[in-house]
Amino acid sequence: MGKELLRQLLPALEKMTFTGAEALTPAGYTVFEVGRDQVDAYRGDPGTLAEALRTFQTADSLPYKYTGVALTALAAAREADGSYAPEGLEASLQWLEKAQELAPDVTDINVVEGFIYIYSDRLDDARLVLDYLHEQDSMHYYVARAEIVYWRSRGDLRQALQWAEQAIQWAATLPQRLRVRSIMAEIYDALGDHQAALQSYREALHFDPDNAWIWNRVALLQWQAGAAEEARSANEKALQLNPALAEAQELQQAMNAGADRGGLFGRLFSS
């Protein structure tokens, strides 16, 4: 993750050839949506980003291709502790600027700039971008998602939760709503409302029962609450679905060893 992954990704991007129309196209947007969902599903497996990059490459529109590359670099820049490698943020902004030169007033493109500024801790710049985007499109799912990240960075979890509820209303697909449910669960837990967090994850599992990452989050919450058997069962389900899931492997080891719940929970839940 982070710097290690970027050392492989960034040189590869420089060698890639990008062709296509300089204009926005409906087909290009359709491909972009698919790739963006793939990036959204990234949980540390480089193969997920490689698949997304291959998807973006098939778009017939350069602005969407460049934005897809920016999103891929941004996701790859995330470190295990939740921080972002500066070289990844810089690369993401450079690719995004190529897209903005060709298509300067597109919310789906410009919202990426908001995310980059937030992850760069340039919160005042991010606020300007988000305010502008609200004027351009008052009901945009990814702008709401950016607001969630912005307010979490500001430490205002109540505002973040309100924007999460708004994002669910503006979501166009079930996977989008499920991702926000998971985000809401993290916020609830940070607020100390562990039952609401667990309920949010269970709602997501109702529609996505084969999601190993969510099963692991359920296990973590149950283990923190002292429900050891339920936690073990949920984590075993996560490992059945994805034996390589690092968080589930570490939780299993900790449960087997009887490790301290608090320290491990905080470490894993921040990933």
Q: Which of 16-20, 79-83, 102-106, 226-230 has the highest mean pLDDT?
A: 102-106
pLDDT at 269 over 60: no
Let me know if 245 is exposed, middle or buried by CB neighbors in 10 A (0-12, 13-18, 19+). Answer: buried
When pLDDT is cut at 50, 70 and 90, the band that residue 270 belongs to is very low
Tell me how many helices (H) and strands (E) the chain has: 15, 0
Beta strands in 115-245 (DSSP E): none
Classify domain 105-172 by CATH number. 1.25.40
Question: 120-146 burial by CB neighbour count: b if 16+ within 10 A, else e?
Answer: beeeeebbebbeebeeebeebbbbbbb
When pLDDT is cut at 50, 70 and 90, the band that residue 271 belongs to is very low
pLDDT at 127 over 70: yes
Extents of the domains making up the chain: 1-103, 105-172, 177-271
Compute CA 270 distance to the chain's CA centroid, rounded to the nearest angstrom: 13
Query: What 3-state class would DSSP assign to 208?
Result: coil
Q: For 220-228, what is the mean pLDDT?
A: 88
Q: For 10-17, what is the mean pLDDT?
A: 91
Q: Are the C-beta atoms of residues 212 and 243 closer than 8 Å to each other?
A: no
Assign domain 177-271 to its CATH architecture.
Alpha Horseshoe (1.25)
- How many other CB atoms sit within 10 Å of the CB of residue 177? 18
Examine domains 105-172 and 177-271 and report if their fold is the same: yes
Distance CA 76, CA 1 (A): 6
Let me know if 241 is exposed, middle or buried by CB neighbors in 10 A (0-12, 13-18, 19+). Answer: middle
pLDDT in tens, 76-114: 999 988 899 999 999 999 999 999 999 999 999 999 999
pLDDT at 10 over 90: yes
C-alpha distances (whole Å) from 90 to each of 102, 113, 116, 130 are 19, 11, 9, 19
Task: Using alpha carbons, select from 7, 62, 67 the residue that is nearest to residue 33.
Answer: 67
Query: Which pLDDT value is given to residue 259?
Result: 53
Q: For 202-231, what is the mean pLDDT?
A: 88
Q: For 221-240, what is the mean pLDDT?
A: 91
pLDDT at 188 over 50: yes
